A and B are shown apart, each in its own frame.
Chain A
Amino acid sequence: MTNVQWAMVIYQLRIHFRMGEMKGIQKILINQIDLSDETFSVNYLPDLHRLRSSIEQIGMMQPVFLRKKLGGYQIVCGFRRISVMKELEKSEIESRVFEDKEMDEFHLFSLSLQENLTTRGFNVVEEAIALEKLIHYFQIHPDTVIHTFLPLFSLETNEKILNTYLSLAQMEDEVKTYVLKEGVSRSNIRRLSGLTSEDRIAVLSLVSPLKLGENRLREALTFLEEISQRDQCSVREIVRRPEIQGILFQKELTPIQKAERVKKVLKAHRYPRIHQLEEAFEKRKKNLNLPSHLSLHHQPFFEGRGLTVEFQFETMEEYRTILSFLSNLVDREEFREILRSS
């Protein structure tokens, strides 16, 4: 389908819609509507609370769209409203009813997308479900989906974006929920999509309780992926290691503390040699018994030679004490060793 053809679809929908208005709105019994038919639904974790209170206060402002089918009606647009009306024990609902052959399924789906876009919008998982339905159920060519439907969701028109959303649509419900609730970025969705289903579930058990921000999540996923690739083991095997599970089960730690410790463990696995150098440096430094206002640093990533000394003082007395300590370091073998090894 080209953009011109898509414009035609929109035009036809407008004509239909106007004719529908002319035909008028009907009241349909809710028990005649097949709530299990989700052909046109892209709902994922809809927030019904606000909708419910709105309907309770002022009633339904727009009719739902239904299509006649054998023995009842299929929902085209208005899944959430019908669900709320049913919860509120209403028996009937104002509806615009399409005849069985009035419009084909793809046109009805397009109508549903357009209608929802102008009212509530979609969350990221719903966008993924919509794109997935366009490709796999309605068999729309990927190029058309990229150039016609991605802009509907204000997404950039390229294959990488489409593939990211299609991969999200295929993920497990708990992962989708995590993506939605934590606002996971597209780059991290892509990282998750590179994992097997079992690995994704294992990762979720790790990252979910840690309440990671985007950068921390990216860092954790990258560490896990790279360790797994290097050591030729699965991501879930890494997650299940006792040193990681031990941190997750420490009840006295806050999520931030747990996240910090898990990061440290993963980093040590990912970069074992620099971890050893860091540990050896810290051990030697500890042996120096540095005063609290004085710190000693090696060069970043041990790339250059030499050490950096940093100190802080408020009085001349403190200043004198620090200088005296520094001056005495010259004669200490531990200090010479730390300088030699840095």
Chain B
Amino acid sequence: MLPFRIEKIYLDEKAEKDPVSQTILKALPNIPIETIRDKRALIKRFSSKPDPIGIGKKHLFLTHFYGRHLKPCPGTSNHICCGYHVINAITNCPLDCSYCVLQGYLNNPFLTLYTNWQDLLQEIDAFLSTDCQSLLRLGTGELSDSLALESIFPLSQMLIPFFTERHNAILELKTKSANVNSLLHLNHWGKTVVSWSLNPPQIIEEEEKGTAPLKERIEAARRCQEKGYPLGFHFDPIIYHEGWEKGYRETILQLFKQIDPKRVVWISLGGFRYPPKLKAIAEERFPKTKVFLGELFPGKDSKFRYLKEIRVKMYQKMAEWLREVDPDLFIYLCMESKEVWERVFGWNPENNRHLNQMFEKRVRKFLDG
């Protein structure tokens, strides 16, 4: 059973005959279906409704993706970014985090599943063939949760075997769910990193509606660890709140009671940040949210971040607690300035390329080890 409610399916007539569409429709019987010819008219119909974002999460749209399925992670200007690549096969997310940047980012409010998988795979192959020397990192978890829809849209089950045969790439599935059952029987050959975004239970409860509780996420990670998957963890967004030190420290301790740090390929740290227009949208949808109550100010990329000294303190503490668990953990900062890197770690990547190279080295060592 789905942990969320789908009220209606909109089926683009061009996607009607795709095997993927048929699989989804079988997985969701008794849900009304409307065939769509004009996607723009559909979006327009919903944009005047109150909370189109909330409504969109309950409405599936099956269509083809005509643009580039694979894009460099947009990252952010004037900050160090890691050279990640984003696979666009799903946009929007059934989970409903108050701070989610997608609320202000996507024009199409629907939970949109792109069913032209063959085009996607061809594009990934073409992309990987252009750079056989590097070890590229690709993931599905930027414009949606990688695993939340797995029971109806088994994209990861298709991508995991696909990546076992690609020597110069690694797939990351990033989630806040605990939906790993379908992954456990697959041969992955270590070429898929399953990663979780983590926050203390209080933040999960107050700000991450519809996501799995911390305990369940850790338990799911442990099950993936047992099956030999490399693991990743993202403390992102770190939210500054009363009692944050206790909350995050206990989260780290709880995590590594079950997880072997040697099986963790990377850990990211990222303070809560948001583009200017998100606040009004999120506050309207989540009147009780507390995420905007910190001291957040616009930076060089126009995104709001915590005051630098607050971020540095949070990262220093987090890094310290993680190093106490295992000094060899590969920890990086997401969308941060060189200065902050320097103050947290005592060094900084020279540029995005440098950080990308460090990742490559880390992943190769991990895979070889």
Contact = CB atoms under 8 A, between A and B. Distances in A.
Interface of A: 157-160, 194, 226, 229-230, 271-274, 277, 300-305
Contacts of B307: 273-274, 277, 301-302
Contact of A303 (B50, B292, B308): B308
Contacts of B49: 158-159
A277 B307 CA distance: 10
The 4 closest A-B pairs by CB, nearest first: A301-B297, A159-B50, A230-B293, A271-B295
Given A274-B297, A301-B299, A303-B305, 20 more contacts: A157-B48, A158-B48, A158-B49, A158-B50, A159-B49, A159-B50, A194-B287, A226-B293, A272-B295, A273-B295, A273-B307, A300-B298, A301-B297, A301-B298, A301-B308, A302-B308, A302-B309, A303-B300, A303-B308, A305-B339
Nearest to A271: B295
Nearest to B288: A229
Contacts of A226: 292-293
Given A157-B48, A158-B50, A303-B299, A273 B309 contact: yes
24 contacts: A157-B48, A158-B48, A158-B49, A158-B50, A159-B49, A159-B50, A230-B293, A273-B307, A273-B310, A274-B295, A274-B307, A277-B307, A277-B309, A300-B297, A301-B297, A301-B298, A301-B307, A302-B308, A303-B297, A303-B305, A304-B300, A304-B337, A304-B339, A305-B339
A277 B309 CA distance: 10
B166 interface: no
A150 to B, nearest CB: 12
A194 B283 CA distance: 12
B290 interface: yes
A274 B294 CA distance: 11
Interface of B: 48-50, 287, 290, 292-293, 295, 297-300, 305, 307-310, 337, 339
B207 to A, nearest CB: 14
Contact of B290 (A160, A230, A300): A230
A300 B50 CA distance: 37
Contacts of A194: 287
Contacts of B295: 271-274
A302 B50 CA distance: 39
A160 B285 CA distance: 12
Contacts of A157: 48
Contacts of B337: 303-304
Contacts of A158: 48-50
Contacts of B299: 301, 303
